[in-house]
A and B are shown apart, each in its own frame.
Chain A
Amino acid sequence: MREFTKGFVRENPIFILMLGLCPALAVSTQVVNALGMSAGTIFVLLGSNIMVSLLKNFIPDEIHIPAYIVIIATFVTLVDLLMQAYAPGLSKSLGVFVQLIVVNCIILGRAEAFASKNTVKDSIMDALSMGMGFFFGLTLIALIREVLGAGTITLFPMGSFDGVIEIPGLVSAPVRIISLSAGALFVVGYLKAMFNWISSRASKEEF
């Protein structure tokens, strides 16, 4: 269980391990992108962690990086093809970032640091934990950026609901800079400070 909960705060990939920041900064302009990106990343992370863990004795040390990259790229291409065929809307809005999951440091990082040394079962827990941590971090950044920067919350359209919730007051006068690149850095910086504060408080209590 500890393996599963570590990703949320204690070893959160975005705020504590500082991994996967490029997609976190780039796609966090709308909540719906964060959800789609997280779903894709969790799938790839799960697939690559399982495969790397299964093949850890088969892959020689000297070629482990190219081997991992091939495995990761295969899963990413699968996600990309399936999204294009069956979820075209999401595929359109995520654009190039789906392919970029290949170079997301979280995935190679976990394959290298965890899955290549642990059992399949633990690797699955690690992938779910890190994936959920990424989901939590990314959605938090996207929620703050979209609410402040655009005054809306964009989710998936369902039936008569078009997927966009407008926040009264903010939608007519949003803090535009928060939705631009600089705003992404501000938001991640403040959240990082908050996570540091939480974890330093927690470690003081232990003593």
Chain B
Amino acid sequence: MTATMEKAGKLALICAISATLLGFVNSMTEPAIATRKAAELKAALSSLLEEGSPGAKEDISDAGSVTARYPVEGAGGWILEFNGKGYGGDMKILASYNEEGTILDVVLMDNAETPGLGKKAEKSEYMDKFRGTGGSAGPVPVTKDALDSPDSVSGATITFVGIAAPLNEGSAYVQSLGGN
């Protein structure tokens, strides 16, 4: 019994020291990480809009993969935030729509996709296939067959579907809202 207690005690001691150390480092790095994330979000929101400015964030819980919306002040339309399902887990996606539900621009935020494959979706060119689709401008491509050049996403089907499906949902969601 005492031998078991000793082992448990030693393991607990190692865990306690690790936890203390990590807590200390976390308290140092947390502000830096939070500042960087806030700056990234702000840059992403303004990069999505050619005119107008993003309004206050409103959290949404009852619209499928749409998790939040920002009304676009000045130009009309919405910026939606999505939680997409990628190959490496959840992906945060931001997209701007005009009032008819046509996609203006898309950007992939936090994700854990495979470097060299799904990660390529972080590049702006990747989103060319979605820009100007949805609403009155024709359907959002939700399968690779719907693309003019399916080769451009070879090797990352799950990432593609994980982005395309929420964008399509978002288009319908914006149409259901009407103008703001």
Contacts and interface: CB of A to CB of B under 8 A. Distances in A.
Given A81-B25, A84-B29, A95 B10 contact: no
Contacts of A82: 25, 29
B18 interface: yes
Interface in A70-93: 70-71, 73-74, 77-78, 81-82, 84-86, 88, 92-93
B6 interface: yes
B61 to A, nearest CB: 27
Contact of B113 (A55, A86, A88, A95): A95
A94 B115 contact: yes
Contacts of B111: 95
Given A84-B33, A97-B115, A74 B18 contact: yes
A38 interface: no
A189 B87 CA distance: 26
A179 B14 contact: no
B11 A85 contact: no
Q: Is the interface of B mostly helix, strand, loop or mixed?
A: helix
Nearest to B120: A29
A183 to B, nearest CB: 10
Interface residues of A, number: 36
A77 B30 CA distance: 13
Contact of B6 (A60, A93, A150, A176): A60
Query: Which of A62, A96, A179: most chain B CB closer than 10 A?
Result: A96
B36 interface: yes
Interface in A1-60: 26-27, 29-30, 33, 55, 58-60
26 contacts: A27-B115, A29-B116, A29-B117, A58-B10, A59-B14, A60-B7, A62-B7, A63-B7, A70-B11, A70-B14, A70-B18, A71-B18, A78-B21, A81-B22, A81-B26, A82-B25, A85-B33, A93-B115, A93-B119, A95-B111, A95-B119, A96-B88, A150-B116, A176-B154, A180-B154, A180-B155
Interface of B: 6-7, 10-11, 14-15, 18, 21-22, 25-26, 28-29, 32-33, 36, 88-89, 111-117, 119, 122, 154-155
